[in-house]
């Protein structure tokens, strides 16, 4: 085993030295390779981060959401509908929700105002109190025990005592949240007491979701019924379609890269050819030369992969994928704000390896073999 390790170490040493000796020649390959990894990694990191955000959002989403539609627009839904839906067999935990977006002129940010439903965010705030997301508390400089002042759309000043700040762990979804008591919410937005923003419900058996949704839309023809599956599929088709288009375009790039790598690996310079001839003549075996060249491929791949991936990471998470913005901009429609949480995912890295390193290695196998079977007496001719 130690002999094996030492042998590999020597081959690696040798190959690194020989790469460095031809740094200029190898630079073009390394640059193209890195670029390919960078572009692919950017697309994948970006879509993955978006998908992840969507999943987090959906995780807490109810099985069915019912919205009232009036004149083609989302409208407030009467409380009486809650009872109507509750009568439908299979529907459970039917509840009216109260939530809305609020543009805070004080610092130009968008908040989500909401009356908490259940204990997902801890104990519900009492009248005159609030629980806010970390982002809100930070930007307004409020700490628990102090007051949060909000100017309502009717230009009325509300003074809410900050009871608690939401856990930073779930910041992705909660950072812009402002939770308040139902009466405060109704007063703030001037919402009548007998209406809700929308109605949510649960369905025990997943196989009945479609049936229940159908019954609801029959019973309440002026309502739109959205199931969690619908949202999921919409997100998915949006992500997948865009990612698919990009990957199809990039497929061409990968193919070009493979041809480039093949060219590069087959077009050995006279100098390299001579060197392999010498190695064979002084006693290296064909498989030693192959191993050495494979290590070369591994070193190049590792370098290009790490550099490309790190650059993509920085690009996506620190510069919001600025270079791809024209292509990817449409995504922003899904989210009013646009901050991605850094995510590195093993499956994704493995996928990226499959798309970049595997084709590279595959493209260089035959040229490497061809170089390695050089006759050992070639140097004597």
Partner 1 sequence: MIFHPTILALLIGSALSSVMVLAGAAFGVRVLRRWDIASGRHGQLVLERRTYLFSVLLAFVMVAELLSLLLFVFNADRMSAQFVGAMCAVGTLNANAFGFPALILKIAVFFLASVWLIVNHVDNMGYDYPLIRVKYAMLIVIAPVVLAAAGVQAAYFLDLDPEVITSCCGKLFTQDATGVSAELAGLDEKAALVLLFGSLALAGVVAAVHARTGQGGMLYGAVSVLVFVAAIAGIVSVVSLYVYEHPNHHCPFCLLKPEYGYFGYWLYVPLFAGTVLGMGGGPIAVFAGAPSLAEIAPRVSRRLVTTSMVCLTGFGAACAYAILSSGLILFGT
Partner 2 sequence: MIVLQDITKTFNEGADNEYTAIHGVDLKIDADRVTVLRGPSGSGKTTLLTLIGGLARPSSGRIHVNGREVTSLPERFLTHMRREVFGFVFQSFNLIHGLSVLENVMIPAYPLGGPGRELNARAVELLETLRIAHKAGTEVQYLSGGEAQRVAIARALINDPPILVADEPTANLDTALSLEFLDIVRELRGRGKTVVMTSHDPMIWQADLVDAVVAMRDGRIVDSGVDPGGEGTA
Interface ranges with partner 2 (CB under 8 A): 2-7, 10-11, 14, 17-18, 21, 271, 274-275, 277-279, 281-288, 375-377, 379-380
Rule CB under 8 A: choose which of 16, 106, 332, 350 binds partner 1.
350
Beta carbon of residue 339, minimum distance to partner 2 (angstroms, whole number): 49
Look at the block and give the residue holding tokens 């801890």. 122
Q: Which is nearer to partner 2, 133 or 277 (CB)?
A: 277
Q: Which is nearer to partner 1, 148 or 213 (CB)?
A: 213
Beta carbon of residue 21, minimum distance to partner 2 (angstroms, whole number): 4
Chain centre distance of CA 174: 18
Q: Which is nearer to partner 2, 196 or 280 (CB)?
A: 280
Rule CB under 8 A: choose which of 232, 278, 310, 324 binds partner 1.
232
Q: Which is nearer to partner 2, 195 or 378 (CB)?
A: 378
> In Å, what is the CA distance from 72 to each residue of 167, 220, 228, 230, 235?
37, 15, 21, 19, 22
Q: How far apart are CA 320 and CA 55, in angstroms?
A: 20
Q: Which is nearer to partner 1, 78 or 229 (CB)?
A: 229
Are 144 and 162 in contact by the 8 Å Cβ rule? The answer is yes
Beta carbon of residue 6, minimum distance to partner 2 (angstroms, whole number): 4
Are 153 and 133 in contact by the 8 Å Cβ rule? The answer is no
Q: Which is nearer to partner 2, 107 or 287 (CB)?
A: 287
Q: Which is nearer to partner 1, 53 or 129 (CB)?
A: 53
Residue 44 found at the interface with partner 1 (CB under 8 A): yes
> Judged by CB under 8 A, how many residues of this single chain contact partner 1?
36
As a whole number of Å, the CA-based R_g of the chain is 30
Beta carbon of residue 355, minimum distance to partner 1 (angstroms, whole number): 6
Q: Helix axis angle, 23-59 relative to 228-266, nearest 10°? A: 170
Beta carbon of residue 80, minimum distance to partner 1 (angstroms, whole number): 30
Q: How far apart are CA 210 and CA 29, in angstroms?
A: 54
Beta carbon of residue 362, minimum distance to partner 2 (angstroms, whole number): 25
Rule CB under 8 A: choose which of 101, 147, 241, 319 binds partner 1.
241
Q: How far apart are the first and last CA of the chain?
A: 38
Are 199 and 97 in contact by the 8 Å Cβ rule? The answer is yes
Residue 56 found at the interface with partner 1 (CB under 8 A): no
Q: How far apart are CA 278 and CA 15, in angstroms?
A: 15
Report the sign of the C-alpha dihedral through residues 210, 214, 216, 221, in that order.
positive
Sequential DSSP letters for 40-62: HHHHHHHHHHHHHHHHHHHHT--
Rule CB under 8 A: choose which of 98, 212, 294, 328 binds partner 1.
294
Q: Which stretch binds partner 1 (CB under 8 A): 23-31, 187-195, 312-320, 356-364?
A: 356-364
Residue 355 found at the interface with partner 1 (CB under 8 A): yes
Q: Which is nearer to partner 1, 58 or 332 (CB)?
A: 58
Beta carbon of residue 114, minimum distance to partner 1 (angstroms, whole number): 24
Calculate ∠ Cα 191-197-200, nearest 5°. Answer: 145
Q: Which stretch binds partner 1 (CB under 8 A): 91-99, 192-200, 272-280, 344-352?
A: 344-352
Beta carbon of residue 284, minimum distance to partner 1 (angstroms, whole number): 13
- If DSSP codes are grouped into helix, strand and coil, which group holds residue 340? coil
Structure tokens belonging to residue 53: 């955000």
Q: How far apart are CA 102 and CA 180, in angstroms?
A: 13
Beta carbon of residue 336, minimum distance to partner 1 (angstroms, whole number): 23
Query: For the chain, what percentages of helix, strand and coil (3-state, to nearest 5) are there?
Result: 60, 15, 25
List of residues contacting partner 1 (CB under 8 A): 44, 55, 58, 206-207, 209, 229, 232-233, 236, 240-241, 243-244, 247, 286-287, 290, 294, 346-348, 350-351, 353-355, 358, 361-362, 365-366, 368-369, 372-373
């Amino acid at each position: 085993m130690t002999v094996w390790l030492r042998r590999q170490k020597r081959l690696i040493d040798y190959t690194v030295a020989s790469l460095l000796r031809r740094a200029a020649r190898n630079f073009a390959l390394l640059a193209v390779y890195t670029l390919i990894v960078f572009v692919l990694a950017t697309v994948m990191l970006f879509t993955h981060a978006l998908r992840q955000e969507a999943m987090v959002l959906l995780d807490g989403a109810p099985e069915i959401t019912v919205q009232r539609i009036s004149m083609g627009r989302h409208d407030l839904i009467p409380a009486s509908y809650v009872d109507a839906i509750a009568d439908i067999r299979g529907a459970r935990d039917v509840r009216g929700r109260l939530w809305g977006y609020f543009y805070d002129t004080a610092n130009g940010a968008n908040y989500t105002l909401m009356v908490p439903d259940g204990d997902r965010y801890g104990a519900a705030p009492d009248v005159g109190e609030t629980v806010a997301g970390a982002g809100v508390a930070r930007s307004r400089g409020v700490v628990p025990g102090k007051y949060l002042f909000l100017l309502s759309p009717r230009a009325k000043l509300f003074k809410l005592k900050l009871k608690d700040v939401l856990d930073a762990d779930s910041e992705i979804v909660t950072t812009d949240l402002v939770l308040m008591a139902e009466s405060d919410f109704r007063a703030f937005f001037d919402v009548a007491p007998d209406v809700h923003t929308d109605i949510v419900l649960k369905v025990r058996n997943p196989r009945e979701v479609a049936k229940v949704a159908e019954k609801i839309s029959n019973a309440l023809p002026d309502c739109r019924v959205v199931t969690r599956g619908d949202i999921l599929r919409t997100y998915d088709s949006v992500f997948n379609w865009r990612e698919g288009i990009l990957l199809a375009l990039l497929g061409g790039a990968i193919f070009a890269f493979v041809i480039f790598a093949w060219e590069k690996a087959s077009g050995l310079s006279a100098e390299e050819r001579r060197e392999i001839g010498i190695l064979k003549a002084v006693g290296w075996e064909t498989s030693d030369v192959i191993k050495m060249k494979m290590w070369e491929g591994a070193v190049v791949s590792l370098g290009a992969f790490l550099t490309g991936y790190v650059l993509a990471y920085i690009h996506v998470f620190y510069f919001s994928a600025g270079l791809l913005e024209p292509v990817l901009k449409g995504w922003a429609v899904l989210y009013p704000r646009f901050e991605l949480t850094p995510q590195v995912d093993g499956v994704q890295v493995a996928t990226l390896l499959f798309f970049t390193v595997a084709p590279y290695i595959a493209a260089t196998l035959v040229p490497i073999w061809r170089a390695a079977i050089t006759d050992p007496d070639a140097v004597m001719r």
